Amino acid sequence: MALLHRHQLARLSDAGWATVLARPWDAQARDCLAHWAAHRLPLVVTRQAAELLAADEVALGLPAPARWGRRRLALQLPRTAVLYFDEFPKLADVQHLWPSGARAALLALQAALVACRAPTRVYGSHGWQALSGLDHLRPESDLDLWVSVDDAAHADVVTRLLHAFTVPSLRLDGELVFGDGTAVAWREWGHWRGGRTRAVLTRGLTGVALLRDTEWREPTGLQALAA
């Protein structure tokens, strides 16, 4: 059975989509979901309640593009409705969405992340537009990166690389994800490690926690973000 993690994509089976479309949605939601089903677009794994996991069900979301009012649709489905799990595109795979004024800086950042062995995926508006081809992006949209890191020292290196990216036309945002799936917003990590805050918010599959330790508790386990 596949281990779930945040920002993971779920590709539904035909039977799974039939289950979704049989539910009593309003007209706008139904039109959006029908498009998703017809084009076999993915849903995203969201925060999971313990009782849902125990019942072998999964909570999924669909952040709709502007065409459907940017609604956020929530679903709960049995795991058997999921044909397979997938991942958001890698940074290199969304170059066609990079603003021209940020291209050189993004190429340099991408090379630096590869050099320090930090696999990077793009979620948020850029990730969804790359997947669907629809109007998820706004002119002011951040580029949300989900960067896999090994430990605190590796996270510090990656945070410095991200912080050094200064392009007026594009703001970077996103998270560092450790081997056990624990994630921290990279800006918050930098503030915490620099002593500017006394705690850091960690995010996991089933909830959030405020970490006040003076030293990072190094997570262990499988890499949550595929290379």
CB 184 within 8 A of CB 175: yes
Task: Dump the DSSP string for 75-105.
Answer: EEEEGGGEEEEEEPPBGGGGGGGS-GGGHHH
* Residues 6 or more apart in contact with residue 213 via CB below 8 angstroms: none
CB 42 within 8 A of CB 8: no
CB 28 within 8 A of CB 68: yes
Going from the C-alpha of 176 to that of each of 70, 123, 209, the distances in angstroms are 26, 13, 15
| Active-site residue, 144 included | yes
Whole-angstrom distance, CA of residue 141 vs CA of residue 134: 14
Whole-angstrom distance, CA of residue 102 vs CA of residue 168: 8
Which of 16, 36, 37 has its CA nearest to residue 83? 16
User: Which one of 31, 135, 142, 173 is the catalytic residue?
Assistant: 142
Catalytic residue ranges: 142, 144
